[in-house]
Structure 1
């Protein structure tokens, strides 16, 4: 039973950074998911894949995994490149624009 420790990425539909500060420990699936032929639902007999633990820091997640004897791998987050424009949002409505701007 191995676990993955990672910091979640931001939601692609939002520009904010909510729910991306904590670290998550979740177990890797031990058996593949199967589709029920009658209902079409996806199911699995692996109950550990439903567990998702949240920690304040990476060190706390690693300490928990080591204290419980869980094999783990740590995935470091990719740093976000900030897109800061000089004019910002107000540049969309500038009155001193030199070129023609239309939709």
Structure 2
């Protein structure tokens, strides 16, 4: 019964001798850079959303730090967690210029109109009238 406690006591003593390493993020630069873009629509929706807001996202100012104990990726830059939505690109640019941010505007490809899949006279048209089944006469003996 005392063996597990002895092993735990030995491991605690061994841990006390090991130096503690704390992951500290590198100092971040003062100047923040932002990226302004229009997010794409969710793939889970089929509707065309015309009122998608423009989003301002801050870029990472320093490299990520790997936490040594658990291996998690982290850092001291909390601006990467901030996302701001604006109704137009002009409003996002005005905000970035008022705050003194360096910014880049990313525009995606132009949305193509989707072809109409319901062509009433085409080959893929759904038939409103069911096909007539042909009767086969069975000869009786």
Same fold (TM over 0.5): yes
RMSD: 2.5
1:12 aligns with 2:43: yes
1:58 to 89, 94, 106: 89
1:22 aligns with 2:44: no
- Aligned to 1:59, what secondary structure does the other structure show? helix
Residue 19 of structure 1: how far off its partner (Å): 8.8
Distance in 2 of aligned mates of 1:52 and 1:70? 14
Name the structure 2 match of 1:67: 98
Distance in 2 of aligned mates of 1:93 and 1:74? 44
Residue 85 of structure 1: how far off its partner (Å): 2.6
Deviations 1:37-82 (A, max 9, x none): 3323221211111111111110000011111111111112322223
Task: Tell me if the contact between 1:10 and 1:16 (Cα under 8 Å) persists in the aligned partners.
Answer: no
Name the structure 1 match of 2:71: 40
Structure with greater strand percent: 1
Gaps of 5+ in 1: 97-103
Distance in 1 of aligned mates of 2:49 and 2:41? 7
Distance in 2 of aligned mates of 1:16 and 1:6? 20
Residue 6 of structure 1: how far off its partner (Å): 0.7
TM-score, structure 1 normalization: 0.73
TM-score, structure 2 normalization: 0.56
Q: Report how many aligned residue pairs link the two structures.
A: 94
